[in-house]
Amino acid sequence: MSDSYAVIGRPISHTKSPMIHGLFAQASGQALEYGAIEGVLDDFENQVLRFRRDGGLGMNITAPFKVRAFELADRRSERAQLARAANALKFEEGRIFAENFDGIGLLRDIEDNLAEPLRNRRVLLLGAGGAVRGALLPFLQAGPREVVIANRDMAKALTLRNELDHPRLRISRYEELEGQAFDIVVNATSASLTGELPPLPAGVLGEASLAYELAYGKGLTPFLRMAREQGVARLADGVGMLVEQAAEAFAWWRGVRPETRAVIDRLSIPLE
C-alpha cells in the first residue's frame, strides 16, 4: 500500500487538493495516495482518528474544521497557535502535529510568484478573521514597514493586536484609512463570497502595486474591480496561495519541496 493522505472538509466536492498533490507527487516521483473525505459535523474527530488508524500519514483540513483539527492535535506550531487553527496535520510517532500553512502560502505567492517583496512595504490586510490570523505572523516576519489590519468589528482587531503586540502592526477602522496609502492590499474578508465590498474609503488603493483577493475562482470581485478602477497594476486571486500552501504541506510530510509554477498555471482561471 502506498503512503496515504487526504483532505477533509464540508462540503468537499470542489476541492482541488487531490489534484494538486497528485501533480506534486508525479512531478517529484513520490508514490502516494491522496483522497478527499466529506466531513461529518458530529464525527469529525473520529474521522481523523480512523484515517490515522487505517495507516494515514497526514491530512489537510478545510472549512469548517480548522479550529477542531487544531484542538485535536497534541503538538502545534507557533503559526498554528496564533491562527488558532490548523490546515494540515501530520501523524508521526503516535502524535498528531498541527500546522497552518495558509499564511506562508499567501506570502510565498506574493513574494515569489508575484514578485512583490514585503520588506519595507506598507501592507493593508482587510478583515480580522481566520484568514488574517493565519497570515499575520509570516507577514510580520517578512520585514514590512507596517502592517495595518482594518476590520468593521474593532474588538476582533484589538484582540488580535493584543495577542501579537508587534511594533510594525497597527489596527484601524475603515474610515480612518482615508488619505492613507499602501503598497500591497489583501482582501482577507469573506465579503467577496457574497459579492460585497469592504467599506474602503475612496482612493486607498491608488498607490498600491498589488491587490490580492483571497477568494479563488470568483473572477473580478467588487474588490478587484475597485482596485482596477483605481489603477492598481497587478490583480491576483488566491490560486497561487492555494498551491503554495499545498507545497508547504507536501514538503512537511515528504521532505521534498515540489515545483509550483506549472500547477498554478494549470489551475488559474482568467479574472475576466
Residue 129 binds ligand ATR, judged by CB under 6 A: yes
Stretch that binds ligand ATR, among 34-42, 96-104, 112-120, 122-130 (CB under 6 A): 122-130
String marking each residue 146-185 x if it binds ligand ATR according to CB under 6 A: -----xxx--x-----------------------------
> Is 86 or 131 the residue whose CB approaches ligand ATR more closely?
131
Residue 105 binds ligand ATR, judged by CB under 6 A: no
Residue 241 binds ligand ATR, judged by CB under 6 A: no
Please say whether the beta carbons of 18 and 35 come within 8 A: yes
Q: How far apart are CA 98 and CA 111, in angstroms?
A: 25
> Is 32 or 204 the residue whose CB approaches ligand ATR more closely?
204
66 is catalytic: yes
Among 7, 23, 37, 131, interactor with ligand ATR by CB under 6 A: 131
String marking each residue 197-236 x if it binds ligand ATR according to CB under 6 A: -x--------------------------------------
> Is 4 or 190 the residue whose CB approaches ligand ATR more closely?
190
Residue 62 binds ligand ATR, judged by CB under 6 A: no
> Is 130 or 144 the residue whose CB approaches ligand ATR more closely?
130
Residues engaged in binding ligand ATR (CB under 6 A): 127-131, 151-153, 156, 189-191, 196, 198
